[in-house]
Amino acid sequence: MAIFTIKKMSEPVASPNPKAETGDGLNVDLLPISTSDCQTQHAERFCEILVMGGDVTEKLHTDSEQPEKIRAVPIHRRPDLLVPCADLVNSEWQRSQAARVHSLQKSCAEFPVCLVLLQGHRETERLLGHARLSQVVGHSGSLFVESVVVSKAERGKGYGRTLMEETERYAKSRGFKRLCLTTHDKQHFYAHIGYVLSTPVQNAGSMTAFVPMEMLLRFSRMPSEEAPKPPQPTRTETDAQVHKESGDSGGACVVGSPPRSSLPPPPPTPSSITPSPLPSIPSVPPPPPVSVPPSPPPSNPPPPPQSAGQPVVQTLTETPYRDAKGVPIFWMHKDI
């Protein structure tokens, strides 16, 4: 058996030598094949001609046999995928379908944006994953990535990395320079694809739809970032100032204060009060001292307390940060 591969061209393919001799001495006639002989609904790659015992068999290879392109699409452009995507996200974080669909419907071009990872054409399309992008308060060049999930049936095939790559490509096309995220147990995966440990940031979520970013930035400031207020004078300082002004005015009363004649008389001095004698208390001897044996030193002394000025240490195995439920959480980011 001999196999000849003829690439598809715009003109019929004609062999300059109508007779060809195979390695085993078999003479084979090469027949010209036009493009119409390999025409299908999709574009073809090549045709193979199998020659065995004088019989010619054509084997057609189409693009449908090649890996289909994977892409990330904002879900507000594909409302037909709202319910399947809600089921996908709920498979990881349980919530009612109606509430999840309502959350996905907030996706818009002005953020937040819900991206769905798709493969194939409309007839053979598959939903592979989901990721949500939101703005970061106080960082105009950053986006926050959350709700990253891959379909359970498609895990272990590298689609998690593909989902993050497509998410980064979308963010970069919108002009953003950094992606931030949090994770409870996937910090090693994110570190493998280029993310590094970071400090907490404020995720705007869907608040930007009805609250200006300037107001969110004001609410997200730390107490130490607020402008210092001028010290308020104490009551003693105020009284002293009032008396000084009263003395400077030649005994006249200050506006807003009662006249001197209406002031109540001062309380009696302590010298005018006769103290009553205290009853005598019999003296009681003090108790004898009790000897306490010294406690043995601990085998593993506790770590020294962390000072207020010392920076917070975060590694890929330990983190000082906690989420709203008190679970350890890792903060990471990647410059794109």
- Rounded distance between C-alpha atoms, residue 14 and residue 6, angstroms: 10
Percent of all residues in the chain with a pLDDT value above 90, rounded to a whole number: 46
27 versus 107: the higher-pLDDT residue is: 107
> 3-state SS of 258-305?
CCHHHCCCCCCCHHHCCCCCCCCCCCCCCCCCCCCCCCCCCCCCCCCC
pLDDT at residue 95 in the model: 95
pLDDT in tens, 305-326: 555 556 679 999 999 999 999 9
CB 69 within 8 A of CB 119: yes
Cβ atoms of 328 and 321 within 8 Å: the answer is yes
Per-residue pLDDT tens digits for 265-302: 666 665 555 556 666 666 667 776 666 556 555 444 44
Please give the mean pLDDT across all residues of the chain: 73
Write down the pLDDT at residue 15: 44
pLDDT of 121 reads: 86
Asked if the model's pLDDT at residue 113 lies above 90, the reply is: yes
The percentage of the chain sitting over the pLDDT mark of 70, rounded to a whole number, equals 49
- 43 close to 86: Cβ distance less than 8 angstroms: no
User: Which of 86-95, 122-131, 306-315 comes out lowest in average pLDDT?
Assistant: 306-315
Band (56; pLDDT cuts 50, 70, 90): very low
Q: Does 6 score more than 60 pLDDT?
A: no
DSSP class of residue 39?
Answer: -
| pLDDT on residue 12 | 46
Read off the pLDDT of residues 176-227 as tens digits, 9 standing for 90 and up: 999 999 999 999 999 999 999 999 999 998 765 556 656 656 665 545 455 5
Q: Provide the token pair at 167.
A: 């998410």
Q: Confidence band (pLDDT; 50, 70, 90) for 243?
A: very low
52 forms bridges with which residues in the sheet?
55
Torsion of CA 111, 116, 121, 125, to 10 degrees: -150
Ranges assigned E (strand) in 64-105: 70-74
According to the per-residue pLDDT averaged within each range, which of 104-118, 221-235, 237-251, 260-274 is highest?
A: 104-118
Mean pLDDT, rounded, for 127-154: 97
Q: Report the Cα–Cα distance between both ends of the chain, in Å, rounded.
A: 54
Please write the tens of the pLDDT for every residue from 145-175.
999 999 999 999 999 999 999 999 999 999 9
Report residue 196 as tokens: 């590094």
Residues 237-263, mean pLDDT to the nearest whole number: 46
Residue 335 has pLDDT above 80, yes or no: yes
Q: Which residue has the tokens 């608040």?
A: 207
- Rounded CA gap, 130 and 86, in Å? 10
For the record, the structure tokens of 88 come out as 């996908």
In this predicted structure, the answer to whether residue 233 has a pLDDT above a threshold of 60 is no
Q: Could you give the dihedral angle defined by the CA atoms of residues 206, 212, 214 and 220, in that order, rounded to the nearest 10 degrees?
A: -40
At residue 2, does pLDDT exceed 90? no
Whether the bond between 298 and the residue before it is cis, its omega within 30 degrees of 0, is no
Report pTM.
0.57
Say if residues 167 and 102 touch (Cβ distance below 8 Å).
no
Tabulate helix, strand, coil % of the chain (nearest 5): 25, 25, 50
pLDDT above 80: residue 124: yes
Work out whether the CA dihedral 316, 321, 325, 326 comes out positive or negative.
positive
All domains of the chain in start order, with CATH: 2-65 (no CATH), 70-219 (3.40.630.30)
* Chain centre to alpha carbon of residue 77: 22
Please write down the HEC assignment for all residues of 184-196: CCCHHHHHHCCCE
Q: How confident is the model at residue 91 (pLDDT cuts 50, 70, 90)?
A: very high
Spell out the residues 6+ positions from residue 179 whose beta carbon is closer than 8 angstroms to its own: 142, 143, 144, 145, 167, 168, 171, 195, 333, 334, 336
Helix axis angle, 82-90 relative to 97-104, nearest 10°? 120
Q: Is the pLDDT of residue 5 over 50?
A: no
